[in-house]
Amino acid sequence: MGDTVLIALYAFAGAAVTGLAGAAALRPIRRRSLTASLSVVAAVGVVAMLAGTLAVAWAMFLSPHDLTVVTTVGAMAAVVSLATALLLGRWVVARSRELALAARSFGDGGDFAPPAGPTTAELDGLSRELAATSVRLAESRERERALETSRRELVAWISHDLRTPLAGLRAMAEALEDGVAADPDRYLRQIRTEVERLDGMVGDLFELSRIHAGTLPLAPTRMSSYDLVGDALAGADPLAREHGVRLVGGRIEPVPVEVDGKEMSRVLGNLLVNAIRRTPADGTVAVAAERSPGGVVLSVTDGCGGIPEADLPRVFDTGWRGTHARTPPAGAGLGLAIVRGIVEAHQGRATVCNIPGGCRFEVVLPAAAP
């Protein structure tokens, strides 16, 4: 037992010295190729075995012949180990370079195509992560292009909508200034109407900028959906009468919700105004509020005749106004974008679908805790 312990100690001492030397060698080359590191590791393993064997041989006073045999065996093992480490290192480095070349396609706006051929489990996992990242980047680029298109359309439409009332205001102001206005009071009323419209447009832009910046202030309070819908109907009734549209409140369940009353009233108001303006005279706009497995559903159904299927995904985009003429009653295309922003700020979602004769806008909100 004593000889065994002594042999273990000598072997450990020789191997430990070699291991420390190998660690010292790995430190300066840790940023170099993996091949160099694998070669050092293989060399450390063989040399540690050889050093331990030599230490034991020296302690046990082996014959020179036996020592030569042991050394030769260790040297051959070292050659094979180094060759194997070099082959493995070159193979891993080659696969890594192929993976790096494939990853460069991200910067060129292309899709990631993993390199063909077998790889290590770690490189294969990295390839899968890069492929998933490629999909997310492609989706992000698509969203960015859509947002950029939406911004350009918004700037063009806002410029168009601003130019028309400003030109009218200038003409009416010059007519009043020159004293050639046949009916000054009518001109003044028209100026006030145009100023209010411009003020509303600026307010919508300010609201949308706060939504996009994530700084929309919300003060949620517990309230009944019955009261929320009732207030919205009362506010939209004059416009409905003006357009000859019937407002109907059906299936309005008094379900409690936790919402910012002011902002949610704006949501319903925008939906109702949009529905009334696009519903022909003698048409009907219906509002409903009911509980569903996903929360509380507030819906506005109109008689606009439906939205083209190709346009449905863009309904809530900033600046979208459909195929109608870009006349002042059509608005600046901000109302539905504001609706979606406010609803999503309440952790809800806004959707639209076609129904026979029109379309239905739905706002799904989380139900208030009992």
pLDDT in tens, 31-79: 666 666 666 666 666 666 666 666 666 666 556 666 676 667 667 766 7
List the structure tokens of 312.
């449905």
Listed range (15-24, 127-136, 227-236, 288-297) with the worst mean pLDDT: 15-24
Phi-psi region of 349 (alpha: psi -120 to 50; beta: other; left: phi over 0): beta
Per-residue pLDDT, 63: 66
Q: pLDDT band for 330, please (50, 70, 90 cuts).
A: very low
Cα-based distances in Å from 273 to 190, 324, 355: 21, 16, 19
Judge whether residue 166 has pLDDT over 50. Answer: yes
Q: What is the mean pLDDT of residues 235-242?
A: 89
Per-residue pLDDT, 26: 62
Distance in angstroms (rounded) separating the CA atoms of residues 362 and 316:
12
What are the backbone dihedrals phi and psi of residue 9, each rounded to the nearest 5 degrees, phi first?
A: -65, -45
Per-residue pLDDT, 52: 67
Cα-based distances in Å from 120 to 37, 94, 117: 17, 12, 10
Cα-based distances in Å from 93 to 35, 90, 104: 7, 5, 17
Express as a percent the part of the chain with pLDDT over 70: 65
Judge whether residue 108 has pLDDT over 70. Answer: no
Of 17-26, 147-156, 209-218, 297-306, give the range with the top mean pLDDT.
297-306
Judge whether residue 361 has pLDDT over 90. Answer: yes
Owner of token pair 């036996």: 66
Decide if 306 contacts 357 (C-beta within 8 A): yes
Decide if 158 contacts 201 (C-beta within 8 A): yes
Per-residue pLDDT, 196: 82
Q: What contacts 318, CB < 8 A, 6 or more positions away?
A: 147, 150, 151, 154, 208, 333, 334, 337
Of 32-36, 38-42, 189-193, 196-200, give the range with the top mean pLDDT.
189-193
Q: pLDDT band for 300, please (50, 70, 90 cuts).
A: very high
Give the per-residue SS3 of 306-369: CCCHHHHHHCCCCCCCCCCCCCHHHCCCCHHHHHHHHHHHCCCEEEEEEECCEEEEEEEECECC
* Mean pLDDT of the chain, nearest integer: 76
Distance in angstroms (rounded) separating the CA atoms of residues 284 and 237:
12
pTM of the model: 0.57
Per-residue pLDDT, 18: 66
Residue 98 exposed, middle or buried by CB count within 10 Å (0-12, 13-18, 19+): middle
Distance in angstroms (rounded) separating the CA atoms of residues 234 and 240:
10
Per-residue pLDDT, 331: 53
